[in-house]
């Protein structure tokens, strides 16, 4: 029997759904070491998953927590980087004690993924803390946050197998993370990446420098455009196998501290069509009429939405040569959504992408692989 207990504290707990962007306020997940307590999870997975029936575990009464008054208290920020993804990866971590940076760690791998680097950062920094400590760990990774607060319980019940009986990716690191949670008292909090938090920025600097095989300058500030906290940010991810005509799409929506994930695998669609589908589904799921920033690596989507669309409409959905616009039905759907929201498109740099763009690409790959196995 495991030795973990998981306590969730929410001001306004809500059941999450793909159509609900109004998530809870001040989400906090606190992992505490309680002998004889199995992990209990209080969140629904944001991505699609098949529903399975499980035997309900026997009820175990919680014992009072041990006195932690004299336990060292630390704050940790972690981040991972990988470009291209998969490819050379780096991770970074900042340990804060008494309000100032106590130490910094970083490392790299020649061949990795962004998700693996995010996990490695958390595992390695917790390993570096020798004595049991009370730790608040901030991450900007949806993968790490959802994994530790939701998916990991299902994986354990399925003997580290996914719903389609495949081995869980990065299970070696997830097992190591569980060992560290058993040793320390860890509260995991999600934070928006590439925002204004100097410690998150520093962790990102360390991860990027490690990926490049360089040393991050002390206290340097990495130049990157800040995301507006008043806008909804939509990040697209697409993978596509030309030979099999099988692909996957994913979209991550972020507003302040709230995150929602949508995605699916499909056959017979091109990469351009998948990018359109991702944005259509993302915009179609919104309930708030706030300004929307779409971040993408697709030049087709960006040019179509910002340059070509008005001309197509003036020519009754014909090109300058008089041919019908390709993917007309999808563009018509997108045009209808663009008339409802104030949407700005950004063509992002593939060499230095936002974390959410990397995660959206990896999620799309998982949707594609899941569809291929149906």
Beta-bridge partners for 190: 139
Strands 292-296 and 28-33 come out as unpaired
- Residue 188 CA from chain centroid, whole number: 14
Instruction: Give, in order, the Cα–Cα distances in Å from 4 to each of 161, 227, 355.
Output: 20, 36, 30
Q: Is 351 exposed, middle or buried (0-12, 13-18, 19+ CB in 10 A)?
A: exposed
Q: At what angle do helices 114-128 and 355-372 cross, to 10 degrees?
A: 120
Instruction: Give, in order, the Cα–Cα distances in Å from 55 to each of 44, 153, 299.
Output: 18, 13, 49
Instruction: Give, in order, the Cα–Cα distances in Å from 295 to each of 137, 222, 320, 371.
Output: 27, 20, 28, 25
> Are 94 and 122 spatial neighbours (Cβ–Cβ below 8 Å)?
no
Beta-bridge partners for 5: 32
Tell me the catalytic residues. 79-80, 118, 140, 194, 204
Q: Which residues touch 9 (CB under 8 Å, ≥6 apart)?
A: 28, 30
Q: What length is written for the chain?
A: 374
Strands 246-255 and 258-267 come out as antiparallel
Beta-bridge partners for 238: 249
């Amino acid at each position: 029997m495991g030795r973990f207990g998981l306590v969730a504290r929410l001001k306004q707990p809500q059941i999450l759904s793909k159509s609900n962007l109004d998530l809870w306020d001040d989400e906090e997940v606190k992992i505490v070491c309680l002998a004889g307590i199995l992990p209990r999870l209080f969140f629904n997975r944001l991505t699609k998953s098949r529903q399975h029936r499980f035997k309900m575990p026997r009820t175990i009464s919680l014992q009072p927590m041990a006195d932690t008054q004299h336990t060292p208290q630390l704050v940790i920020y972690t981040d991972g980087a990988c470009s291209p993804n998969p490819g050379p990866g780096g991770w970074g971590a900042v340990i804060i004690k008494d309000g100032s940076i106590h130490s910094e760690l970083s490392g790299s791998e020649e061949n990795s993924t962004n998700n693996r680097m995010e996990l490695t950062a958390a595992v390695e920094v917790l390993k570096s803390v020798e004595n049991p400590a009370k730790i608040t760990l901030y991450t900007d990774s949806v993968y790490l946050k959802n994994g530790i607060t939701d998916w990991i319980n299902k994986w354990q019940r399925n003997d580290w197998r996914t719903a389609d009986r495949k081995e869980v990716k990065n299970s070696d690191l997830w097992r190591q993370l569980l060992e560290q949670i058993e040793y320390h008292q860890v509260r995991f909090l999600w934070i928006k990446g590439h925002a204004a938090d100097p410690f998150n920025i520093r962790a990102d600097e360390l991860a990027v420098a490690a990926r490049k095989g360089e040393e991050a300058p002390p206290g340097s500030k990495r130049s990157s455009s800040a995301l507006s906290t008043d806008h909804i940010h939509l990040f697209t991810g697409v993978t596509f196998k030309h030979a099999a005509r099988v692909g996957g799409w994913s979209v991550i929506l972020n507003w302040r501290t709230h995150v929602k994930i949508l995605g699916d695998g499909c056959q017979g669609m091109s990469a351009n069509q998948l990018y359109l589908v991702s944005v259509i589904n993302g915009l179609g799921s919104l309930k708030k009429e706030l300004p929307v920033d779409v971040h993408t690596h697709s030049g087709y989507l960006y040019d179509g939405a910002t340059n070509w669309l008005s001309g197509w409409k003036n020519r009754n959905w014909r090109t300058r040569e008089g041919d019908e616009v390709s993917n007309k039905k999808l563009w018509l759907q997108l045009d209808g959504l663009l008339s409802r929201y104030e949407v700005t498109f950004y063509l992002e740099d593939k060499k230095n992408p936002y974390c959410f763009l990397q995660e959206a690409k990896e999620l799309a790959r998982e949707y594609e692989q899941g569809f291929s196995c149906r």
